[in-house]
């Protein structure tokens, strides 16, 4: 639903006094403007009301729209005073349309996203044959059903709308579902289920996309209540061509995975639990697309670092085997003792070198790059210094003062290549066996690779 205002009356649970006001849902979030005092005033002594304004958070506020819909507001916060007020404005954490809740507990979430119907290949809601009338198919269709950690996961599509004697209007919908017998706080449902699925869509399509519609199922209820909160955004037009074109960074559709759709959901949620820190860094620029280029590069590189750390069993965390490291340390200590330095200097050096056997940044980049098989081989053949330059650039943006020998344009393309490598590596872990070949076929990747190769050639590396 688009941004909107809902006029109605509002009151606290257990209070019979209702005051008029407007619930405002906009790009700034949700606020409640009431014409009066939301909290009751008190009289003291001679009948004069006294008190200082203070910030108050009210767990539940009830409302009723002008057309009779029940509304529950959660986490309503604002300044409150014992003095009567003509108008107050409060911030709202979550607004639910369709029911008055006795407690803020939920058993399910339903969420829609931009491009979800196209990504999941939702069927048309009508059929049309030449010479025949169109036939509407409004029934709900299950596109994927899975289970993870005792939670039922699903992707469904259907049609909703209205019919009158003079007109018919229906639109297709497509939503992700997560339901359980357990109860959750509303933020838990978003963080545990809606956000991981959002991450999957971004990894698959390689583009920012919005969560456009959300509903929650209150505990003990069979009804779904429309939910409004700050992260949800207004529905906009979707151009299907943007994810299907040759220039699109798309790597995966639901039906193009090398596994059944039901397995894709459960495997993704398990993988996302393992790689949460890495994915949070990798996808941060997609959730905040206004991010500056150097911050994007830092996010991509730090995501690779976090991924390498999470896969120590695959890559190892030490630069040398322990026996070789001990020999190296012994050789350096021997040289220090022969140099006849002061005791405290020699001891300081011993303390440092004995514990430093971790891999250099450039070697960690190389580990992840080479683990992508032919994709990594092609990259390192075209740009032998890619890993070293990326590591130097990371040091520059993280510690300031230098770009590691890369100009701004070259750093940008190194960041783009890191993003392609990380998306391929994550899809490989998911079980998409041909993920690397999909990257190599994308024109956008080949163009970025050419920029890196030309940059190194101009510097005399190749």
The pLDDT value given to residue 1: 46
Strands 211-218 and 141-148: unpaired
For residue 398, the model assigns a pLDDT of 65
Residue 39: predicted pLDDT: 78
Cα angle: 28, vertex 33, 35; to 5 degrees: 165
Residue 354 has pLDDT above 50, yes or no: yes
Average pLDDT over residues 119-129: 85
Least confident range of 28-42, 283-297, 342-356, 386-400: 342-356
Residues with Cβ within 8 Å of residue 244, at least 6 apart in sequence = 118, 250
Q: Computed from CA positions of residues 88, 94, 97, 100, in that sequence, does the dihedral angle turn out positive or negative?
A: negative
What burial letters (b/e) apply to 378-414, b meaning 16+ CB within 10 Å?
Answer: bbeebbebbbbbbbbbbebbeeeeebbebeeebbbbb
With a pLDDT cut of 70, the percent of the chain lying above it is 84
Beta-carbon contacts of 236 under 8 Å, excluding residues fewer than 6 positions away, are 114, 210, 212
In tens, the pLDDT along 173-193 reads 999 999 999 999 999 999 999
**Mean pLDDT for the chain?**
87
Q: What is the average per-residue pLDDT within 308-334?
A: 73
How many Cβ atoms are within 10 Å of 366's Cβ, its own excluded?
20
Average of pLDDT values for 83-101? 89
Q: Is 208 helix (H, G, I), strand (E, B) or coil?
A: coil
Coil, strand or helix: which one is 446? helix
Q: What per-residue confidence (pLDDT) applies to 337?
A: 67
**Can you tell me the distance from the alpha carbon of 319 to that of 316, in angstroms, rounded to the nearest whole number?**
8
Return the beta strands (E) in 149-219 as ranges.
151-163, 168-184, 211-218
Q: Which of 233-242, 405-414, 420-429 has the lowest mean pLDDT?
A: 233-242
* Mean pLDDT along residues 344-354: 65
pLDDT at 174: 94
Crossing angle for the helix pair 195-205 and 261-274, nearest 10 degrees?
110
Q: Do the Cβ atoms of 345 and 335 come closer than 8 Å?
A: no
Kindly report the pTM of this predicted structure.
0.86
- Binned at pLDDT 50, 70 and 90, residue 390 comes out as very high
pLDDT band at 17 (very low <50, low <70, confident <90, very high): confident
Q: What is the pLDDT of residue 232?
A: 79
- Burial (Cβ within 10 Å: 0-12, 13-18, ≥19) of residue 66: exposed
Q: What does DSSP assign to residue 105?
A: -
pLDDT of residue 429: 98
Q: What is the pLDDT of residue 350?
A: 67
């Amino acid at each position: 639903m688009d941004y909107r205002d809902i006029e109605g009356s509002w009151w606290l649970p257990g209070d019979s006094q209702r005051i008029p006001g407007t619930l405002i849902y906009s790009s700034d979030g949700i606020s409640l403007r009431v014409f009066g005092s939301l909290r009751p005033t008190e009289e003291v002594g001679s009948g004069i009301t006294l008190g200082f304004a203070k910030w108050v958070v009210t767990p539940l506020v009830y409302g009723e729209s002008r057309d009779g819909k029940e509304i529950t507001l959660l986490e309503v916060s604002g300044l409150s005073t014992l003095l009567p007020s003509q108008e107050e404005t409060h911030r709202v954490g979550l607004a639910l349309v369709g029911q008055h809740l006795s407690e803020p507990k939920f058993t399910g979430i339903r969420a829609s996203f931009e491009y979800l119907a196209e990504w999941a290949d939702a069927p048309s809601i009508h059929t049309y044959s030449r010479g025949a009338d169109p036939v509407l198919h409004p029934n709900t269709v299950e596109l994927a059903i899975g289970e993870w950690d005792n939670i039922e996961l699903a992707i469904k599509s259907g049609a909703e709308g209205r019919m009158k004697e003079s007109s018919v209007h229906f639109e297709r919908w497509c939503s992700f579902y997560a339901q359980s017998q357990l109860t959750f706080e509303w933020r838990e449902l978003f963080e545990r289920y809606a956000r991981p699925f959002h991450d999957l869509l971004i990894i698959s399509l390689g583009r920012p996309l919005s969560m456009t519609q959300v509903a929650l199922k209150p505990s003990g209820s069979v009804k779904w209540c429309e939910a409004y909160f700050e992260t949800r955004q207004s529905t906009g037009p979707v151009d299907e061509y943007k994810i299907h074109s040759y220039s699109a960074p798309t790597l995966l559709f639901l039906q193009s995975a090398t596994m059944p759709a039901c397995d894709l959901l459960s495997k993704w949620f398990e993988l996302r639990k393992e790689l949460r820190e890495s994915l949070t860094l990798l996808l941060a620029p997609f959730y905040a697309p206004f991010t500056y280029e150097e911050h994007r590069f830092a996010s991509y590189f730090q995501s690779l670092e976090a991924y390498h750390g999470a896969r120590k069993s695959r890559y190892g965390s030490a630069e040398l085997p322990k026996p070789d490291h001990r020999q190296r340390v012994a050789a350096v200590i021997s040289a220090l003792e022969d140099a006849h330095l002061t005791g405290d200097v020699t001891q300081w050096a011993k303390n440092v070198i004995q514990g430093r056997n971790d891999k250099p940044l450039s070697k960690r980049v190389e580990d992840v790059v080479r683990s992508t098989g032919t994709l990594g081989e092609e990259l390192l053949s075209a740009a032998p210094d890619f890993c070293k330059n990326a590591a130097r650039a990371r040091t520059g943006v993280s510690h300031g003062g230098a770009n590691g020998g890369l100009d701004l344009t070259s750093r940008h393309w190194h960041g783009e290549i890191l993003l392609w490598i990380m998306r391929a590596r994550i899809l490989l872990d998911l079980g998409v066996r041909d993920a690397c070949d999909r990257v190599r076929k994308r024109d956008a990747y080949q163009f970025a690779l050419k920029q890196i190769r030309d940059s190194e050639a101009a510097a005399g590396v190749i």
